[in-house]
Structure 1
Amino acid sequence: MNRKILVLAAVTGLLAPALAACGGSDSGGDDGKAIVVGTTDRFSASADAPAPLDPAYAYDVGTWNILRQTLQTLMALPRGDGEPEPEAAEQCGFSDNGNERYACTLRKGLKFADGSPVTAADVKYSIDRVRGIKSDSGVAGLLSSIDTVETKGDREVIFHLNTADATFPYKLATPAAGIVNPKDYAKNKLRDGFRVDGSGPYTVQVETRNNELVKAVFTKNPEYKGELTPQNQKVEMRSFDSADAMGAALEKGDIDLMTRTMSPEQIKKYSDAGADSDIKLIEMPGLEIRYLGFNTDAPQVRSKAVRQAMAQIVDRGEIASEVYGTSAEPLYSLVPATITGHANSFFNKYGDPSTAKARSILAKANITTPVKLTLNYTTDHYGPATKKEFELLQKQLNDSGLFDVTIKGEKWATFRPNESKGKYAVYGMGWFPDFPDADNFVAPFLDKDNFLGSPYANSTIRKKLIPDSRREADRLAASESLEEIQNIVADDVPVLPLWQGKQYIAARDDITGAEWALNSSSTLQLWELSRGMSG
């Protein structure tokens, strides 16, 4: 990470309050020409996932990055991260000492983009709708601590929680809590296709081809009232088949900026470019993690010993350095090293990679070797280096002589439904947090109705440790419970963490605000972008 970025991160906390206070003004002083952003995220509608952009279904970083521009939430993370602040709300806060009653008052004069008023009843409808539909994507799990939602008049919303949850303000800042108009979104049915309507800073029009979104055009919403200050009138997002195609478009000037997912080769190329290059690379801290998930009911990996042996063999350092270079670091827990409550549980238990120790683990459990496995991965969701990563994982396991591994790649539109239905014994996944708290790196994987659809259930984690950690408003005080969760995961290995990544944006030199266009949770903040003078 270069020195400039370290300085930026250090001053973020000082800048955020002043910047937040500027929200709500009629800004956007660019030349009116759309800023064009490239991504390799793919957005598909299919029989398995007919409603990819419905907030009651959407639960991946790509779809959320569309919803965050168009749906308003009661709370939002400030520009430089930190504690959530009111957005659609004028004020929010716990109104009891036990973190079980949370009340919000809406801003005056809130309107949907069609001009109709946003009321407390609409907020209640939106939240209850996500909880009621409870789609198989797992997104409703973010709202599982809600017992009932109450309204008082048109502007007051009160959340009665079924358990203490100090992380609840963060959850109200996610698209799962996005405010929708009841006339656009049926109460008990997902909204198929790619339409999105809300009260956020932009409206969106999409272009599709063969049930895939290929372009989304965001236009500044004149009805928007909130903390954000759009610096542009229009942003166009284009979806590319590959990082190479996206990079070629940037270099030709067909797009102005590219974000996830760039290849390691592109990151090195733009990093090594001289000061006179018309493309600048911006490196930012990230909380993205990659891991192997296990269907612990599958015969191949039902024995904990098999999963432990894999944990003992996998060389995270080699994966990070050989595949991702400087853009990834080995990870020894589900919780990233930069998050309060992190523990190096896997390293503490397994130490350095060792075939001899893995052989002993399998022998004690009377496991016949070599263990036959297929590692499944997605070819088009996490970037072009994923295949190389899985080829190296395959080699590491097979070279031990204890495993006979094949690998299989599939497109995300097929891979994700298959994974959630338990069709894979072992599969590779990534996680971009919903919010930057350790709870969001454990509960989505280990709690009831989890994101993975995993059959793994540990009663101590679910009934004691997660609830205990959520009672602590001081997140440092939650560390003891969180570390115990991580130690249990290292022993049972329902998931196997691999690496933690940085994040990058490459932009042409006339684009300003690119350094603010991603926060640590990989939230794309298109409202920060503007067109200035090329240098």
Structure 2
Amino acid sequence: MTAAVATAVALTLGASACSSSDSGDGGGSKGGSSAKADAALTSVVNASTKKGGTENFEISDVPDSLDPGNTYYGWVQNFSRLYARSLTTFKPAAGKAGLEVVPDLAEGLGVPSDGAKTWTYKLRKGLKYDDGTPITSKDVKYAVERSNFAPEALSNGPTYFKAHLLGGDKYKGPYKDKSKDGIASIETPDDTTIVFKLKDAFADFDYLATFNQTAPVPQAKDTGASYVQHIVSSGPYKFQSYEEGKSATLVRNTNWDPATDPIRKALPDKVNIRFKVNQTTIDNNLMSDNITVDGAGTGVAPETQPKVLTNAKYKAQLDSSYAGATGYAGLNLHVKPFDNIDCRKAVQWGLDKASVQAAAGGDPKGDVATTLLPPTVNGYTKFDLYPSAGNKGDVAKAKDSLKACGKPNGFTTNLSARSDRPAEMAMATAIQASLKKIGITVNIKSYPSGKYFSNFAGVPSYVHEHDLGIIMTAWGADWPTGFGFLDQIINGSAIKPSGGNNVSELNDPAINKALNEGIANTDATARTKAWGEVDKLVMENASVVPLVYRKNLLMRPTSATNVTVTQAYLGMYDYLLMGSAK
């Protein structure tokens, strides 16, 4: 059943995310010097099988964490596959093929039973860590326990396993529960078998298994939050060095056996990554061919855009990919006056989304959004509950809503945005100007992206104390289905003390129920239909303001090899495939 579901979803999504030409897993690849704009959307650009060289990444801020069990940023999910193997993963391939879920640590996809309430995986034989010790199913179980049940140490990642495993609401996590058995609903009858027992049917489980939370962690080597300093590798690369907030260097893991790993080619000898590099500096380094890739995968800064779009050489190196993501503003239900639905609707009606799109970089960086689900995600339904001419807002209806919420003269609120993301800051400024026209005064508060969710916008107590009524964010699917997109940003069970992404703190019983019933439905057609209906419930609640369906204006330097866009990881380049000719 799971293989059929995955294939059907991949075909559906690929048709909407990619243009008509598709070279599958690399056929029809193009050389770097002759490749055209958008070539990497459907083919592998500058294909190479040559081993060696150094790959250089740069990032405008710091990661939330490079620990596979303590991250939620899409680029880290993509990057960490170099050193952390999960039970399943997305096939490293061009076009539609890149949405196919394939076995990774597991020798096959999950075997469902009990109406998709039980899922069983068998690990490949011969798997080893970088120190040569065997990888076992118990290490995978432990990885899930530490990543989902220890918020006191690891707060950044999602908690799908905690929400859906039997007894997930009772288990205290491996740092508090000192029993050797761990959570009873993950069984390891032998060193190569792992069985997940769920409260309800979960038709997307093979997608969930792609999360690097299933990357094995040996319990004896785990040091909680400081594990990031000494990560034990299960992939083709291991850490040679890691300097918090500055850089990391990966080198070959000599105990990685390619015979156990049919999907990784592991071409570069070394991978360097530098943190906290100014975005325009990163853009200039791409243009000068001084680095291999902008690791964040969100595209060039707005101020760089004119330079690359008007220069024929640079334009040929661009790929404008749909990110499978929506940039939006969350209205926090516990920050007055957004506890009143009419005050929320005033923002919905009054916002000039056309100006916000222009601030983000215009058409090359995204389309105006009217729904939370983007068009490239399975379950998207086109609708607009707050329409206006030219997407410029409806001042009259906004003022009617202000009267209805008891604020006829408007009100003042704070808005949070990420300081090192120029496009997001520009969008925040556009929102500020737009809402001023209807009497809402917006004060912008900026924070660094690396700690945005763990310390600020994802911490309810901080949000309430600092009156962050509007929270700028963007979201891409954890996996490319409606549930994989929606659950962690609108389900009440996703609200956490820190590191949360349900920034509105939406906890509506009808929405929670619709989500849980949808994922338990093993009928793929009915399940897909359910996600559009959930999206409408959220928009009726008015706690989320969709802004843009995001595009990434990516740039590939001429020395980068095996470059292709993956829709499985938010329309950035596939880091498992990439290499460098340098």
Partner of 2:222: 185
RMSD: 3.0
- In the alignment, the residues of structure 2 paired with residue 196 and residue 517 of structure 1 have an alpha-carbon distance, to the nearest angstrom, of 26
Cα shift at 1:6: 9.7
Aligned partner of 1:479 in structure 2 is 528
Distance 1:487 1:336, change over 3 A: same
Question: In structure 2, what is the equivalent of residue 373 of structure 1?
Answer: 413
Question: 2:243 matched to 1:230?
Answer: no
- In the TM superposition, what whole-angstrom CA distance separates every residue of 1:347-385 from its partner, at most 9, and x where no partner exists? 2344442010111122123224221111111112xx322
Cα distance per residue 1:265-292 (max 9 Å; x no partner) = 43443233325x5982233332122111
Aligned match of 1:30 in 50, 55, 58? 50
Cα 1:234–1:176 shift into 2, 3 Å:
same
2:101 maps to which residue?
84
- Which residue matches 1:120? 137
Unmatched tracts of structure 2, length 5 or more: 1-14, 30-46, 167-184
The TM-score, its normalising length taken from structure 2, stands at: 0.79
Aligned runs of 1:433-444 on 2, under 5 Å? 433-444=477-488
**CA offsets 1:130-156 (integer angstroms, 9 cap, x no match):** 232144435223552122111122211
Aligned residues: 505
Deviation of 1:487 after TM superposition, in Å, equals: 1.4
C-alpha contact (below 8 Å) 1:164/1:467 kept by paired residues: no
User: Are 2:542 and 1:493 equivalent residues in the alignment?
Assistant: yes
Deviation at 1:222, TM superposition (A): 4.4
Distance 1:169 1:517, change over 3 A: closer
**For residues 18 and 115 of structure 1, what CA distance do their matches in structure 2 show?**
39
Q: Which residue of 2 aligns with 1:354?
A: 394
Report what 1:462 is aligned to.
512
Q: CA deviation at 1:198?
A: 2.4
**Residue 144 and residue 67 in structure 1: after superposition, are their counterparts in 2 closer, same or farther (change >3 A)?**
farther
Select 2:247's aligned residue among 174, 193, 214: 214
Aligned to 1:24: none
Contact 2:132 2:255 in 1 (8 A): no
1:376·1:409 contact (CA, 8 Å) conserved in 2? Answer: yes
**Which amino acid is 2:494 matched to?**
D
Q: Structure 1 regions of 5+ residues with no counterpart?
A: 20-26, 45-51
Matched with 1:530 is 579
Q: 2:330 aligns to what?
A: 293
The worse-fitting range, judged by mean Cα deviation, of 189-198 and 478-487 is: 189-198
1:322 Cα deviation after fit: 4.2
Q: 1:247 to 1:82 in 2, by over 3 A?
A: closer
Rate the CA distance shift 1:205–1:525 in 2: closer, same or farther, 3 A.
farther
The correspondence of residues 313-332 of structure 1 with structure 2, limited to 5 A, is 313-325=350-362, 326-332=364-370
Cα 1:395/1:437, change in 2 over 3 Å:
same
1:245 aligns with 2:281: yes
SS at 1:431 equivalent: strand
- Per the alignment, residue 449 of structure 1 pairs with 494
Q: Deviations over 1:449-477 (max 9, x none)?
A: 343355321111212x1122112345432
**Counterpart AA for 1:425:** G
Q: Which amino acid aligns with 2:327?
A: R
Contact 2:308 2:315 in 1 (8 A): no
Bigger mean CA offset, 230-239 vs 307-316: 230-239
Which residue of 2 is the match for residue 340 of structure 1?
378
| Contact 2:137/2:193, CA 8 A, preserved across alignment | yes
Taking the aligned partners of 1:169 and 1:67, their CA distance within structure 2 comes to 19
Deviation of the 1:14 alpha carbon: 4.4
Q: Is 1:200 the equivalent of 2:235? A: yes
- Corresponding residue for residue 169 of structure 1: 206
Aligned to 2:158: 139
After superposition, the Cα gap between the structure-2 partners of 1:13 and 1:96, relative to the gap in structure 1 and judged at 3 Å, is: farther
Question: Amino acid of the residue matched to residue 304 of structure 2?
Answer: Q
Give the structure 1 partner of residue 425 of structure 2: 387
SS of the residue 2:343 aligns to: helix
Q: Distance in 2 between matches of 1:334 and 1:17?
A: 35
Structure 1 residues 284-303: Cα deviation after superposition (integer angstroms, max 9, x where no partner): 33212211112211123211
What is the CA–CA distance in structure 2 between the aligned matches of 1:184 and 1:524, rounded to whole Å?
32
4+ residue runs of structure 1 moved beyond 6 angstroms? 5-8, 16-19
Percent identity for Structure 1 against Structure 2: 19
